[in-house]
Structure 1
Amino acid sequence: MANAKELDPSSSPKAFFGAELRRLREAAGLSQERLGELVFCSGTYIGQIEAATRNPQLDLAERIDAVLNTGGYLARLCPMVTRSRHADYFAAAAELEPMAVTISEYAPTLVPGLLQTEEYARAVIRAADPLALPEQVAERVAARLERARVLGGPTGPEFWCVFHEAVLRLPVGGAPVMRQQLHSVVELVSFGRILVQVLPFTAGAHASTAGMASLMTFVDSPPVVYVEGQHSGQLLDDPVLVAAYRRSLDLVRAVALSPEESLTLIKSTAEEFAR
């Protein structure tokens, strides 16, 4: 992580916010750990914001303002810092993905965004917002493909996903797009650091969440879960809820096909789309 003292505050809105937080914290005579205790987060998180490796969240900025008696200064800076190419409800989760050590996801209806091909992503985005202008669709597709780069390097997170079999059967974008998408999943798995299982229809009732759920773990921060429905999503950090989602994901993996059986099913389904 970059040293906050070495950052140029003028280099980005995030760096400016971090510098201002550090200035206000030190003026109050508080360490990162002590400020974290007062606002109910870790000192590491405070340090990451000061070093411009994490975006500040509005609710946290408001708590810091109250503790440091800033008159709402940091909360007013937040909109400038947290602008994102992603939907507002997903922006915080997207920011955390590159920092994760592991990402475990259950996908009930669609291929996860981190594994989507360009054509599959375009079909999903168009279906969700058929009145969107072409340039808006192109921007959203680019943002989704940019996210996927996090899995491309040796230092990226390990990604373990369970697809419901419905994901393989739903002809998003038509047969050619689905065939390309499923072949892409197989190819990505062959590179390592990505593990995919399929939850077959024959599994019947199971312990999955009602919608998608993505559990992220970190080296020096507590795990979080991102859950999403139609046009909304939520990042959860409550330890009880995180533990409950972790257990659900473990149970789903236990009844899913093995990784080898899953790849066989994905390949055979891809060929069915070729016919």
Structure 2
Amino acid sequence: MEQGEPGEQGVRDDAGPRPEDEPGSGVVTAFGRQLKLLRVRAGLERPEFGKRVGYAGQSVASFEQGRRIPPPRFIDRADEVLDAGGVLKALKEEVARAQYPAFFRDMARLEAEAVALHVYAAHAVPGLLQTEEYARAVFGMRRPLLDEDTVEQRVTARLARHEIFSRRPMPTLSFVIEESVLRRPIGGWAAFKGQIEQVLLHGHRRNVEIQIMPNERTEHCGLAGPFTLIENRDGRRMAYVEVQRDSSLHTDRSAVREIEEQYGILRAQALTPGESLTFVEKVLGER
């Protein structure tokens, strides 16, 4: 969904590897070059500049070379120290989006602006509910393997999405999660226990509803796979569907309505929110 503005029937990304999937390209490289030019203009060597902004010279080198994505606090501080007049800060939003793999960047923007999100998760705990340990395990198990810097970048980006829980006004969030997800201890049982506890914690938020779809259900309308329904401030409704690294954003009303109908039936087939929290507590007590 990164390759342009979504059309009426949705956008499909090529599933093959692309340079924009990794740090060191596009806006990240442009930011790094601009940062170096401003640092040199200011007459600062990397170690001295690093001290002033609170980062090691090695980290500064990584930012300048586009090998690492600089966090927002670094960008703000660098802009001030280098007297850049907002030049670096102006790139902050685009740099932040570069934390995500290409196919997810537009979805991340829509998610951050949504007034309502409804998620059906069939394979893993939804990203918005993941703990740091669980997220690191998820990315660490990716094949082909991601390098360590990319894993850390993706974990940081995933955790940054959790800001949605502190937004005001509060968005409406709901999740239908397969029971099998709660039986798959990704990252090991110790880490997974913390993940289940986090699911419970979010499930008690006033603006969040979590429902579990039991394995024993004989009727299930979500067999076509996971999806996310999005509603923005203008009341526009969209549906995001992702398989592997192939993503589609549906904006056509008839297509979105079909997925909304699936979600409504899924919620009816799943345990109620109250029953679901009791079920999650039971799973937690089994270990």
Q: CA deviation at 1:154?
A: 3.6
TM-score by length of 1: 0.68
Q: CA deviation at 1:198?
A: 0.3
Residues 269, 233 of structure 1: alpha-carbon distance in 2 compared, 3 angstrom cutoff: same
User: Which residue of the partner structure matches residue 93 of structure 1?
Assistant: 107
User: Which residue of the partner structure matches residue 200 of structure 1?
Assistant: 214
Match of 1:247 among 233, 238, 261: 261
Is 1:58 aligned with 2:11? no
More helix, by proportion: 1
Kindly report the root-mean-square deviation, in angstroms, between the aligned alpha carbons of the 2 structures: 2.2
Residues 158, 60 of structure 1: alpha-carbon distance in 2 compared, 3 angstrom cutoff: closer
Give 1:1-275 correspondences, 5 Å limit.
58-59=4-5, 84-129=98-143, 131-272=145-286, 274=287
Aligned length: 202
Aligned partners of 2:268 and 2:207: how far apart in 1? 19
Write the deviation string for residues 99-146 of structure 1: whole angstroms up to 9, x where unpaired.
111101110111110110000101111111463222211111000000
Q: 1:161 touches 1:197 (CA, 8 Å); kept in 2?
A: yes
Q: Secondary structure at the match of 1:58?
A: coil
Gaps of 5+ in 2: 8-25, 28-93
Write the deviation string for residues 216-240 of structure 1: whole angstroms up to 9, x where unpaired.
1123152111111122222111111
Q: CA deviation at 1:205?
A: 3.4
Give structure 1 regions of 4+ aligned residues with deviation exceeding 6 angstroms: none
Q: CA deviation at 1:247?
A: 0.1
Amino acid at match of 2:210: V
Aligned partners of 1:225 and 1:166: how far apart in 2? 24
Gaps of 5+ in 1: 1-55, 62-78
Q: 2:6 touches 2:249 (CA, 8 Å); kept in 1?
A: no
Higher relative contact order (CA 8 A, sep 6+): 2
Aligned partners of 2:5 and 2:207: how far apart in 1? 34
**Percent identical across equivalent pairs?**
34
Amino acid at match of 1:166: S
Q: 2:219 touches 2:269 (CA, 8 Å); kept in 1?
A: no
Q: 1:111 touches 1:167 (CA, 8 Å); kept in 2?
A: yes
Segment of structure 1 superposing worse, 257-266 or 227-236 = 227-236
Q: Secondary structure at the match of 1:201?
A: coil
User: Which residue of the partner structure matches residue 70 of structure 2?
Assistant: none
Q: 1:215 touches 1:223 (CA, 8 Å); kept in 2?
A: yes
Segment of structure 1 superposing worse, 129-138 or 223-232 = 129-138
Aligned partners of 2:278 and 2:145: how far apart in 1? 38
TM-score by length of 2: 0.66
Residues 117, 216 of structure 1: alpha-carbon distance in 2 compared, 3 angstrom cutoff: same
Amino acid at match of 1:255: Q
